[in-house]
Structure 1
């Protein structure tokens, strides 16, 4: 029971590392508790311990997912995500079954489990990766070297090293008190066996400070428009014309500052996802409103909208409008959200709930990365890489945009369906990490907030409040240099998977886990009913 309680505490502690708490140091401490709790328990109890800890983390952290749709989808999603932590607990519980904390094994298991849940089922749900709570920490800067998986690896390795040091310390105390075997002076644990793992954890925790995050480069002026909606909730867009009109009005108001010389003219204007849920290519009124706005701006405008196509389906799109040309480019969201924008295996899931048919028409996935190219008044080329809403959490979608040539990233989102919750700041934190990962500025624009301009070092500027009409405007650097993370792509995850498979194979072959966490020491924290699992 003590192991389950420890895992439960660790899950609750990890919540504090993410917005809106933003206590990043809670992450390595929570991971240390998990490494301790899962060590030596075997696969069965490891799974249970991981599941309990996962529920303690995901249930509160994903509470925004049920704010308007009820508790069932929220708890189902949280349970699904917690199952991946259960899998991690089972694997590590087996690898560490001899009773010693194994930092490398723990880190590899975590990276593989996190990568798995980012891909399955139905394309996965990578929200709340460890890295996404580290935008303000030294750990977060490591994202420029190997992406979110590398940050997760170093974090878990640090946490497990702390756990190993604590395990050695407890064992040493037990030996001195005569409560553990080997009480002779020669067999007592030297202090360095406590100090070295702790020192290693501290070194890893500070290593990110040596990673440069350059912000130099030519600049362009951006204007992000947060038009707001009539009211929050699932029916936020029941007055779709009002939402469109809000964005038009806010844009034209911002333009009056330009005309009066109070603000610089933007090179690119960005509206958020769902700014025009009236198909602006088929509805004459909506199209006229947008074209008139572009004419007043005399600058390109990116519009988040819905298209009534293909026949029988819907497309969630970013549309580029240019003065005198109309709509010149489009990006279709590549990763529609299952059970929200489309229903996978509809006939099967209808057996469990008729609610699946509330989604009457499925959204279709786009075929390719989106990069809109526009030229500034000074002749500078802006290549804006597009991501719509939850796509910002998917490593491959963001990396594809950069590898396609983007020198700035644009994240359009609509947070109206999540009310006044942590979802919006959690998403903004992901955009901040993406800026550091790829060395790109990010224009992060929401219908209702939070919106911000983000420089390549991850600093968010002009962060807006929720459910207010506002704009974010200013100069951002355009960068073409590629980070190491961009170049290595998914390699860190595949290396981790190969190393873990090798470790498992060696453990099976030898009838025990491969040594990776230092000399074996007595685990005096074990419950009596855990002895058979060790």
Structure 2
């Protein structure tokens, strides 16, 4: 019962590491509690402990997913994600079945199960990775070295080291002479060093600059029918853009080099609807600068494409990016006939969205001769490591994240997404133009600082100069290598555990100094 209570407590504590609480230190503390609770539990009990703790964490932090569609999808998603924490608990429980806290084993399990969760099923759901709550912490700066998996590893390792220190201290209470103080202080010191190591990682923000304008046009109403008046949404973005241009004409603001509209700014197909296309072209001519439009295309036949379209003055639509990772059960129904047997609600998605073929980078030149290479991501794509990395490796010197948060109301979804964009800025050393239909929108510099953060469900613009950078961070170069190294190390550890066999059941006793020296292995 004590283990269960600790595991549930850890799940609740981890909620505070993410927006809108933003208490980043809650993450290593929560993971430390989990490493203590799962160690010695065995595989079966470990699964239950991890699954229970996962529910306490995921149910509240993913509550935005059911704000308008009801509890069933929300609880189903939270339950699915909790299964991965159940797997983590099972692996840790088996690897540490003798009751010792093994920080390295726990950290490896954490990285591997987070990576698994980010890929399965149907492409995975990496939202709420530990790294995504660390944009303001020293841990977060480590993302520039090895990406989000490396941050997760270090946070998990630091938390488990603290748990090891507590485990040793409790074991030594009846016989303090058996456990020298250094066996307690050394893990604490190592955890502190890991927690502060990120401060040594430089986050440069120098480089030539370009002027960006992000337009948050707002919608008629929040909810699933946000685009019931699709023409009004388009009109809102046109009006807000032209109003911003008036400030340029009057000399109150600098002229933008690139203007960005968010996802779903034009749900009327702007390539097939003459009125929508005319409005966009008129806006581009008034700006005399390139405009990125988030829209929906009625193609290919029988399907829909979620796209970013580049419009240039005098040229019209010159480039497009099709969202590579449509959201399962929201933008398409996988295995439709199978899931229809459970609920006919799947047919509310009448036309499936199709995935795009490749990374998107829009290239435009500024009047001063600078080259803007904008790497594209649409909505939840910002949470996928490979999609963001592909854009940078394709040549992006700035990142553009277009999103629509209208279907999540006044919830933590928007701040959670903005936090991910901030971490991506640090990871790749790139500025980020994060633009939402309804907020939050912001301009983010390569050190992860968000500027001009807008309020939800207001019409607003974000404008200013952002550095264009070509330098490549170590995280960009190593790619998925940290995850594969962790997976290989964990497999080796599991193989050794199988070879050694299950240890004999012995009465609980206090550890010796020699055993304590092996705990961190």
Query: Using the alignment, how far apart are the partners of 2:242 and 2:476 within structure 1?
Result: 38
How far the C-alpha of 1:174 sits from its partner, in A, is: 3.0
How far the C-alpha of 1:175 sits from its partner, in A, is: 2.6
How far the C-alpha of 1:519 sits from its partner, in A, is: 5.1
Query: Using the alignment, how far apart are the partners of 2:88 and 2:515 within structure 1?
Result: 22
Corresponding residue of 2:383: 393
Query: Using the alignment, how far apart are the partners of 2:128 and 2:368 within structure 1?
Result: 40
- Contact 2:183–2:516 at 8 Å: present in 1 too? no
How far the C-alpha of 1:415 sits from its partner, in A, is: 0.1
Q: Secondary structure, in 3 states, of the residue corresponding to 2:112?
A: helix
Tell me which of 201, 205, 212 is aligned to 1:211: 201
Corresponding residue of 1:430: 420
Query: Using the alignment, how far apart are the partners of 2:205 and 2:226 within structure 1?
Result: 37
Q: Does 1:509 align with 2:499?
A: yes
How far the C-alpha of 1:521 sits from its partner, in A, is: 5.4
Corresponding residue of 1:408: 398
Query: Using the alignment, how far apart are the partners of 2:320 and 2:209 within structure 1?
Result: 24
Tell me which of 437, 444, 450 is aligned to 1:460: 450
How far the C-alpha of 1:68 sits from its partner, in A, is: 0.1
Q: Does 1:341 align with 2:315?
A: no
Corresponding residue of 2:507: none
Corresponding residue of 1:254: 244
Corresponding residue of 2:130: 130
- After TM superposition, the structure 1 = structure 2 runs for residues 467-482 of structure 1, keeping only pairs within 5 Å, are 467-482=457-472
- Contact 2:38–2:46 at 8 Å: present in 1 too? yes
Cα offsets for 1:121-174 (capped at 9, x unmatched): 000000000000000000000000000000000000000000000000001113
Query: Using the alignment, how far apart are the partners of 1:72 and 1:417 within structure 2?
Result: 16
Cα offsets for 1:288-312 (capped at 9, x unmatched): 0000000000000000000000000
Corresponding residue of 2:5: 5
Corresponding residue of 1:88: 88
Cα offsets for 1:257-285 (capped at 9, x unmatched): 00000000000000000000000000000
Q: Does 1:318 align with 2:313?
A: no
Tell me which of 290, 297, 300 is aligned to 1:307: 297
Query: Using the alignment, how far apart are the partners of 2:471 and 2:53 within structure 1?
Result: 40
Gaps of 5+ in 1: 177-184, 523-534
Q: Secondary structure, in 3 states, of the residue corresponding to 1:520?
A: helix
- Contact 1:100–1:520 at 8 Å: present in 2 too? no
Corresponding residue of 2:286: 296
How far the C-alpha of 1:511 sits from its partner, in A, is: 1.3
Corresponding residue of 1:494: 484
- Contact 1:95–1:512 at 8 Å: present in 2 too? no
Corresponding residue of 1:449: 439
- Contact 2:305–2:323 at 8 Å: present in 1 too? yes
Corresponding residue of 2:260: 270
Cα offsets for 1:51-109 (capped at 9, x unmatched): 00000000000000000000000000000000000000000000000111000000000
Query: Using the alignment, how far apart are the partners of 2:192 and 2:46 within structure 1?
Result: 27
- After TM superposition, the structure 1 = structure 2 runs for residues 149-188 of structure 1, keeping only pairs within 5 Å, are 149-176=149-176, 185=177, 188=178
Cα offsets for 1:462-512 (capped at 9, x unmatched): 000000000000000000000000000000000000000000001101115
Corresponding residue of 2:74: 74
Corresponding residue of 1:25: 25
Corresponding residue of 2:506: none
Query: Using the alignment, how far apart are the partners of 1:16 and 1:444 within structure 2?
Result: 24
- Contact 1:437–1:485 at 8 Å: present in 2 too? yes
Query: Using the alignment, how far apart are the partners of 1:65 and 1:511 within structure 2?
Result: 43
- Contact 1:98–1:512 at 8 Å: present in 2 too? no
Query: Using the alignment, how far apart are the partners of 1:497 and 1:155 within structure 2?
Result: 17
Corresponding residue of 1:282: 272
Q: Secondary structure, in 3 states, of the residue corresponding to 1:246?
A: helix
- Contact 1:3–1:37 at 8 Å: present in 2 too? yes
- Give the count of matched residue pairs: 508
Corresponding residue of 2:62: 62
How far the C-alpha of 1:454 sits from its partner, in A, is: 0.1
Q: Does 1:417 align with 2:407?
A: yes
